[in-house]
Amino acid sequence: MHESDQSIRGLPEIKKSQFPAILDSLKKAHKLTQKEYFNLPEKERKNIAQHAMKISAMEIKNSNKFRDSLWEIQSEIDIKNTRILIEIIKKRGWVNKAQLGCVEYIAPALIFMHSPKENWNEIQTLINKEYSENRMGKDAYNLINSHINGKRLNWKPFNKID
């Protein structure tokens, strides 16, 4: 589930702007190192950056449909992962890597962070139960609970959350 959760989110095509990558490509095309680029006269540096901005703007305009279709696929993956995780937790309680004997990293909190709003009431009930019965850690509970209730937290990396 973790791999499918990140499969499309991690693609460069999802990012709104490819400006940094395009600027790097233009520097390479001009055979400029990073240092040489920054040592160029300001006008020359601005010309290259503006060229990168124009290319980036064209790329964004032309890829909106493609990006939207990728997000539709990711949305379907999120729905499926949410249903699977809810069923697993209902059957065996909150799960973590050690409990399952997994070698690969799992992040049930991450799956719930990407769940559709339609599932939030069910998830809230589920995590309240799991936390009150001490099967779920405080960090994971607070992260999901805050997300569902529209609050932002300064959170630790997921490998620190059970």
On whether the CB atoms of residues 54 and 98 are closer than 8 A, the answer is no
> Which pairs with CB-CB distance under 8 Å and at least 24 residues apart come from 46-50?
48/23, 49/23
SS3 content of the chain, % helix, strand, coil (to 5): 70, 0, 30
Paired tokens of 117: 């709003």
Q: What does the pLDDT profile of the chain (162 residues) look like in tens digits?
A: 777 787 777 666 666 667 788 888 899 998 999 899 989 999 999 999 998 888 877 755 556 777 788 889 999 999 999 999 999 999 999 987 777 777 666 678 889 999 999 999 999 999 999 999 999 989 899 999 999 988 765 544 444 444
pLDDT of residue 162: 45
Place of tokens 């937290």: 153
Per domain, the residue ranges of the chain are: 2-160
